[in-house]
């Protein structure tokens, strides 16, 4: 309980809106570069590493809810759980020390991506197709199930795109954070995820 209060320090609360705004800004840059990625969870992952899994969860969920509230994408809220899980997993992996070993960290990214795709598939299937009726053949089911991303709401991208996207996101966060001096990292509740335990 005490840990939760420490995780949600003022610094964390300040970081979350910044991270959510980053999600959107980076997402737009990526679209401008016409790359097959979203990178719309990069801020969420950042918060998760620096402030723990619960903070990452809150960031992800809030990001999608805000998306809905702005009226840009009313259905983003349905995928809030997915975004929350991404933050949660990134935070857990960082808490287990995976951040300090780059290969483990990148593996964590791939795992997160797979889980994200798996969780969002039934959500979009339910939302846009209803419960699968009788007489459906496998192709249609697969087709519908992979319309997972809300940003690029085109079918057939989920299962392949998500792990790659999370891998790159995790990598970018790693590159950015590991170069920061310890004195600066001390601001954040979970600095030890990046820097290791202080001697």
Binding site for another protein (CB under 8 A): 8-11, 13-22, 24-26, 28-30, 32-36, 39, 42, 46, 58, 62-63, 66, 68-71, 73-75, 127-130, 133-137, 140, 143-144, 153, 155, 172-173, 175-176, 180, 182-184, 186-187, 198
Task: For the CB of residue 133, give the shortest distance to another protein in the complex, in Å.
Answer: 7
- Specify the residue, 72 or 101, whose C-beta has the smaller distance to another protein: 72
Task: Please check whether residue 10 is in contact with residue 55, taking contact to mean a CB–CB distance below 8 angstroms.
Answer: no
CA angle 71, 75, 81 (to 5 degrees): 120
Q: How far is the CB of 125 from another protein (least distance, A)?
A: 11
Give every CB contact of residue 108 below 8 A, 6+ residues apart in sequence: 89, 90, 93, 98, 170
Alpha helices in the chain (DSSP H): 2-7, 10-32, 42-51, 53-69, 80-95, 102-129, 138-145, 158-178, 182-185, 192-195
The closest alpha carbon to 113, from 180, 40, 54, 178, belongs to 40
Of the pair 103, 135, the CB lying nearest another protein is at 135
Nearer to another protein, 63 or 86 (CB): 63
**For residue 176, which of 43, 61, 56, 54 has the smallest C-alpha distance?**
43
Q: Minimum CB separation from another protein for residue 76, in Å?
A: 11
Instruction: Give exposure, 107-145, as e/b (b: 16+ Cβ within 10 Å).
Output: ebbebbbebbbbbbbebbbeeebeeeeeeeeeeeeeebb
Q: Looking at beta carbons only, is 43 or 115 nearer to another protein? A: 43
Q: How far is the CB of 62 from another protein (least distance, A)?
A: 6
- Cβ 135 to another protein shortest distance, Å: 3
Specify the residue, 97 or 143, whose C-beta has the smaller distance to another protein.
143
Least Å from the CB of residue 96 to another protein: 23
Q: Which is nearer to another protein, 58 or 115 (CB)?
A: 58
């Amino acid at each position: 309980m005490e840990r939760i209060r420490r995780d949600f320090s003022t610094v964390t609360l300040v970081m979350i809106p910044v991270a959510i705004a980053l999600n959107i800004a980076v997402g737009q840059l990526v679209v401008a570069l016409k790359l097959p990625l979203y990178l719309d969870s990069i801020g969420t992952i950042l918060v998760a590493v620096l402030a723990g899994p619960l903070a990452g969860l809150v960031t992800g969920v809030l990001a999608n809810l805000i998306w809905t509230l702005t009226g840009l994408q009313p259905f983003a809220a349905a995928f809030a759980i997915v975004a929350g899980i991404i933050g949660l997993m990134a935070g857990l992996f960082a808490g287990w020390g995976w951040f300090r070993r780059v290969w483990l960290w990148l593996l964590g990214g791939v795992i997160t991506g797979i889980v994200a795709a798996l969780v969002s598939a039934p959500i979009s299937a339910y939302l846009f197709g209803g419960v699968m009726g009788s007489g459906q053949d496998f192709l249609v089911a697969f087709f519908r199930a992979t319309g997972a991303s809300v940003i690029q709401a085109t079918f057939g991208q989920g299962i392949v795109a998500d792990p790659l996207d999370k891998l790159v996101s995790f990598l970018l966060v790693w590159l950015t954070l590991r170069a920061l001096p310890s004195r600066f990292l001390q601001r954040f509740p979970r600095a030890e995820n990046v820097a290791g335990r202080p001697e």
